[in-house]
Amino acid sequence: MDILLQQIINGLTTGSVYAIVALGYTMVYGVIQLINFAHGEVVMIGAMVAFSVIMALVGMGLPLPPFVIVLGGVLAAVPVCMAIGYLLERVAYRPLRHAPRLAPLITAIGMSIILQHLALLVWGRDPRAFPQIMENASFAVGGAAISSVQIAIILLSVTMMAGLTWFVYRTRFGIAIRATAEDVRVAGLMGVDANRVIAATFTIGAALGAVAGVMYGTYYGIAHYTMGFILGLKAFSAAVLGGIGNLAGAMLGGILLGLVEALGAGYIGDMTDLCRWPVFGELLAERCAADGHVVLFGSNYQDVFAFLVLILVLVFRPSGLLGERVAERA
C-alpha cells in the first residue's frame, strides 16, 4: 500500500472538517475581531444531537436508506446549533461589545464550560459510538484506498465552502457582512444593521459547525462531550494558519493542517526512531536488536502538530498565509 498517498487522502478528509470548523472562527473574527471560544462546543453538540437522532431513526426500524438517516441527523443538528450560536452571541458577546477585550473572552469560556457540562448531563460521560449504518465501501486509488465516507465528507465540504463563498460574495447580506468586517461604523451609516450581521455570522458558523460535527462523528465513528475542545483548538490553528478573518485562508489552512497532521503522524515514528540515527543507534544497539526500533515520538503525539503549526505561524507570520492585517496587540 502506498502510505504517502493514503496519508494524503486521510489528511484531506480531516482537513476538510477542520476547514469547515475554521470558517466559523474566521467569520466571527472577521466581523468582531474576537475569537468565538465556544465554537468547538457547538460542533460537539452538533455531533451529539445528530447521533441521538440517527440512533432514534435506526431504532424505529424503518426501511430508510442510510443516506436519509444521516441526513435526518444533520437536519436536526443544524437548527439546534444555530440556536446555540445565536444564544452565545446574545449572552456572551453582545452585552460586552464595548467592554475591555478580556471580558467577552471570559464569558465565552464560561459558556463553553456550561455547554460542555450540559452535554455531559444529557449524553453522559461515556463516548457514544456512531452506528455503522453505511456500508463503508472503499475504492482503490493508485495503491491507496478511499472510502465512501471520505468521498462524501470531501464533496460535502467543498460544496459548503462554495456555497458560503457565493453567499458572502454574491448576495446582499454577504455584502453587508463584508462591509461590517471592513468597518462597523461606516457600514452602520450605510444602513447595515450590525447586530443582525454579527448574530448572523455566529449562526452561520454554528450551522457549518453542526455539519462538521456530524462529519467528524461519522468519520471516526465516535462522539464524546469533550471532543469539541481539541477539534476547536485545531480548527482555530487552521484559521490562524490561513490568516484569521479570511474565508479562503480558513479553507486553505484547514486542508493544510489536515495534511500536516496526517503526514506528521504517519512519518514521525520512523523519523524519530533512534535506531536509525547515527550515534544513538550504536548506544542503543542492544535495545534496537531486541525491539527493532526505539521510537522517541510515535503517532500518539498527533495532536501536538496543530499546536506546533500555531506557534510557528504566530512567530514567523502572525498574519497567516493569506491574511493582510498584522495582528498586533491593540
Partner 1 sequence: MSRLKPAHWFGLALVAIALLALPLVLTQVGTAWVRIANFAILFVFLSLGLNIVVGMAGLLDLGYIAFYAVGAYTWALLASPHFNLHLPFWAILPLGALLAGMAGAILGAPTLRLRGDYLAIVTLGFGEIVRIFMNNLSAPFNITNGPKGITRIDGFGAGGVNFSTTDTLFGIAFTGPAKYYYVLLVLMLLVIVVNLRLQNSRIGRAWVAIREDEIAAKAAGINTRNIKLLAFAMGASFGGIAGGMFAAMQGFVSPESFVLHESIMVLAMVVLGGMGNVWGVIAGALLLSFVPEFLRYTVEPAQQAIFGRLLIEPEVLRMLIFGAALVLTMRFRPAGLWPESRHKREMGERRA
Burial class (CB in 10 A: 0-12, 13-18, 19+), 174: middle
Could you tell me the three cell numbers for 219?
Answer: 468519520
- Residue 298 in contact with partner 1, rule: CB under 8 A: yes
Q: Which residue has the cell 493542517?
A: 257
- Tell the smallest beta-carbon distance from residue 122 to partner 1 (Å): 11
- Residue 49 in contact with partner 1, rule: CB under 8 A: no
Could you tell me the three cell numbers for 112?
Answer: 463553553
CB atoms < 10 A from the CB of 159, how many? 10
Cα–Cα distance between 10 and 290 in angstroms, integer?
Answer: 32
Q: Which of 86, 220, 277, 301 binds partner 1 (CB under 8 A)?
A: 301
Strands 138-141 and 128-129: unpaired
Q: Which of 56, 109, 137, 158 binds partner 1 (CB under 8 A)?
A: 109
CA distance readout (Å), 137 to 149, 221, 265: 8, 15, 25
- Residue 92 in contact with partner 1, rule: CB under 8 A: yes
Nearest C-alpha neighbor of 256 from the set 272, 232, 230, 237: 237
Which positions from 178 through 207 interact with partner 1, judged by CB under 8 A? none
Is 37 or 216 the residue whose CB approaches partner 1 more closely? 37
Q: Which of 5, 64, 71, 91 binds partner 1 (CB under 8 A)?
A: 91
Applying CB under 8 A, the span of 2-10, 92-100, 129-137, 188-196 interacting with partner 1 comes to 92-100
CA distance readout (Å), 95 to 13, 84, 198: 38, 16, 13
Q: Which of 58, 64, 114, 263 binds partner 1 (CB under 8 A)?
A: 114
Is 34 or 134 the residue whose CB approaches partner 1 more closely? 34
Q: Which of 67, 139, 169, 307 binds partner 1 (CB under 8 A)?
A: 307
Which residues contact partner 1 (rule: CB under 8 A)? Answer: 34-35, 37, 91-92, 95-96, 98-107, 109-114, 116-118, 120-121, 229-230, 233, 236-237, 240, 274, 287, 294-298, 300-301, 303-304, 306-307, 310-311, 314-315, 318, 327-330
